[in-house]
Amino acid sequence: MIRVLAAVVLWAGLAVAAVAQGRDIEAVIGNQIEAMRADDFATAFDYASPGIQGRFGSAENFGAMVRGGYPMVWKPRDVRYLELREIAGALWQKVLVTDADGQAHVLDYQMVELEGGWKINAVQILPAPPPSV
């Protein structure tokens, strides 16, 4: 009986930690999107991992990439967080973004936890969801 109780307590603790982790990840993504909405690419660049920052070199280059390749997150109409998954040891947050024209896009954000908190390490565009009936 004590083992069962201990297992339940451990499971509940892990579930609470996972929920908190998910909220922290959503906050990082949301903060980056809000910075981009305000055309504050310097702040948006701060939410990127060191690898992404090294790849683009500057907030200006990063902003140009976002405007050209990911316009749906530059000025979105709506953002909804879907499932957080672990794939091959990496955490991926799926996000449904509705762009300014009302088009839905699904993006997958790879997140890494560093000393200073969560950072965005990659973003990929997934196939669009089917239209609503």
Residues 57 and 129: their CA atoms lie apart, in Å, by 33
Which tens digit of pLDDT belongs to each residue from 82-119?
A: 999 999 999 999 999 999 999 999 999 999 999 989 99
| 3-class secondary-structure state, position 33 | helix
Other Cβ atoms less than 10 A from the Cβ of 16: the count is 10
Residue 45: count other Cβ atoms within 10 Å of its Cβ.
22
What domains can you pick out in the chain, each with its CATH number? Answer: 2-126 (3.10.450.50)
Whole-prediction pTM value?
0.81
Q: What percent of the chain has pLDDT over 90?
A: 77
Integer Cα distance of 128 and 94 in angstroms = 12
- Structural tokens at position 118: 């969560």
